[in-house]
Structure 1
């Protein structure tokens, strides 16, 4: 009987602040719930995740690049890279990493609640990336796929933020 390593996961959230979002913590505190930045998920205890979540992006990048294959599953590393590149606004690179995370979890051949949740987080992250790349249809396609897999609070919050951001872009001159 083979012993499989279980995913130790917890969504670690951090705010993505862009030019159209709040520029400092005082502005951020004054925003309504609907105006808060998107939430990006990384896998707990994966290489680089704690550093990325705490804003130490250079340290997170070093940890991700130094991780040996057995230390980091493809999904965990791809999610870390996805989050890192979202945070540094390198959206094309982030999109590739998010897509790799989706492929990695799809390749596990495990269709259980945990794999669905992890897929949902990857689709939610990629929806954010697509939104910032002005791919509105792709963003909504990904967030809807995430919702099919999980109605987690992170996915629901990002759907709300995506809807608000899209509506604002339609009414703002």
Structure 2
């Protein structure tokens, strides 16, 4: 059974540059950092993903997914896979994991946020903004979502000039 951890790591992305240092992968979205978030549940593989050991985290997470058919138990695992695949730059696999996380965790602002980051990084600004707006509807007080929404909006302004 999954337990809740009191803290959860935020991964920050800056475009083009992959950093394997402890917790973050960096990619830049027109100078603004975009933030991902792992699940708050202490599920198999999350600690490895948060510490930057993505391969091991992905392996453990996939093993846990193979043992569970319960959607509510799969949702945090899928969310963590989404984060790990984005962090490793495996965007096609990240897309599937992020879509699966949104489907499994209907109503999860964080799942929408993470998929929005993927959409921003893969040059899909309308999908990015739509996912961030949905995340905001689900959790209007989340500072991570508000930060990413601001970054995406600033990008839209830059693109229209």
Shared fold (TM-score, shorter chain, > 0.5): yes
- Whole-angstrom CA distance in 1 between matches of 2:117 and 2:62: 23
Cα 1:18/1:155, change in 2 over 3 Å: same
Structure 2 residue 117 is matched with structure 1 residue 128 = yes
Cα 1:64/1:22, change in 2 over 3 Å: closer
Where in structure 2 are the equivalents of 1:33-44 lying within 5 Å?
35-44=31-40
Query: If each structure's strand is expressed as a fraction of its own residues, which one has the higher value?
Result: 2
Where in structure 2 are the equivalents of 1:5-20 lying within 5 Å?
8=4, 11-19=8-16
SS at match of 1:39: strand
Cα 1:36/1:23, change in 2 over 3 Å: farther
**Deviation string for 1:90-117 (max 9, x for gaps)?**
22221221111111123xxxxxxxxx4x
User: Post-superposition shift, 1:14?
Assistant: 1.3
TM-score if structure 1 supplies the norm length? 0.72
User: Post-superposition shift, 1:23?
Assistant: 7.5
- Considering only CA atoms, is the larger Rg found in Structure 1 or Structure 2? 1
Q: Which runs of 5+ in 1 are unaligned?
A: 26-33, 107-115
2:14/2:32 contact within 8 Å kept: no
Q: Which runs of 5+ in 2 are unaligned?
A: 22-29
Structure 1 ranges of 4+ moved more than 3 A: 21-25, 165-171
